[in-house]
Structure 1
Amino acid sequence: MAKTHVFIDGEQGTTGLQIRERLAGRTDIELITLPEAERKDEARRTQALNDCDVAILCLPDAAAREAAAWVRRDGVRIIDASSAHRTHPDWTYGLPELDPAQAARIAGASRISNPGCYPTGAITLLRPLVDAGLLREDAALAIHAVSGYSGGGRAAIDRFEGEAGDGGRPPSFQVYGLGLDHKHVPEIQQHARLIQRPIFVPAYGAYRQGIVLTIALPLGALRAGVMARHVHAALADRYADTAQVRVAAPVEDASTAILDPQALNGTNDLSLAVFDNGALGQVLLTAVFDNLGKGAAGAAVQNLDLLMAAR
Structure 2
Amino acid sequence: MKYKIFVDGQHGTTGLKIHEMLENREEIELLSIKEEEKKDINKRKELLNSADLVFLCLPDAASIESVSLITNDKVKVIDASTAHRTNPTWTYGVPELTSNNREKIKNSTRVCVPGCHASGLIIAMKPLIVNKLLANSQKLICHSITGFSGGGKTMIEDYENGKFEDIGGQRPYALSLNHKHLPEMKYILELDEAPIFTPSVGNFKQGMLVMSYLAKKDFQKEISRKEILELYKNYYKDETFINIIEDNETYLDAGLLNPMKCNNTNSLEISVYENDTDLVIISRLDNLGKGASGAAVQCMNLMLGIDETKGLKTVKN
State the TM-score bracket (shorter-chain normalisation).
Answer: over 0.9
2:262 maps to amino acid: L
Q: Where does residue 220 of structure 1 map in the other structure? A: 217
Distance apart, 1:163 and its partner CA: 5.4
| Cα deviation 1:242-282 (Å, max 9, x = unaligned) | 111110114369996421100010111100011112xx221
Distance apart, 1:38 and its partner CA: 1.4
2:6 maps to amino acid: F
1:298 maps to amino acid: G
Unaligned runs of 5+ in 1: none
Alpha carbons 2:249, 2:255 under 8 Å: kept: no
Q: Where does residue 150 of structure 2 map in the other structure? A: 151
Cα root mean square deviation, aligned: 1.9
Give the Cα separation in 1 of the matches to 2:159 and 2:237: 39
TM-score by length of 2: 0.92
| Cα deviation 1:45-77 (Å, max 9, x = unaligned) | 011000000000000111011111111101000
Check 1:29–1:254 CA distance in 2 against 1; reply closer, same or farther (3 A cut).
closer
Q: Where does residue 305 of structure 2 map in the other structure? A: 309
Give the Cα separation in 2 of the matches to 1:174 and 1:288: 18
Alpha carbons 1:134, 1:231 under 8 Å: kept: no
Alpha carbons 1:108, 1:310 under 8 Å: kept: no
* Identical pairs, percent: 36
Whether 1:246 aligns to 2:243 is yes
Q: Where does residue 259 of structure 2 map in the other structure? A: 261
Q: Where does residue 170 of structure 2 map in the other structure? A: 173
Alpha carbons 1:146, 1:202 under 8 Å: kept: yes
Unaligned runs of 5+ in 2: 308-317
Give the Cα separation in 1 of the matches to 2:156 and 2:249: 39
Whether 1:196 aligns to 2:193 is yes
What SS class does the counterpart of residue 17 from structure 1 fall into?
helix
| Cα deviation 1:96-152 (Å, max 9, x = unaligned) | 111121111001001000010000000000001100111122122210000001111
Alpha carbons 2:11, 2:35 under 8 Å: kept: no
Give the Cα separation in 1 of the matches to 2:166 and 2:209: 23
Q: Where does residue 51 of structure 2 map in the other structure? A: 52
Give the Cα separation in 1 of the matches to 2:306 and 2:286: 27
What SS class does the counterpart of residue 4 from structure 2 fall into?
strand
What SS class does the counterpart of residue 201 from structure 2 fall into?
strand
TM-score by length of 1: 0.94
Q: Where does residue 276 of structure 1 map in the other structure? A: 274
Alpha carbons 1:120, 1:295 under 8 Å: kept: yes
2:200 maps to amino acid: A
Q: Where does residue 35 of structure 1 map in the other structure? A: 34
Aligned length: 306
Q: Where does residue 291 of structure 2 map in the other structure? A: 295
Alpha carbons 1:148, 1:207 under 8 Å: kept: yes
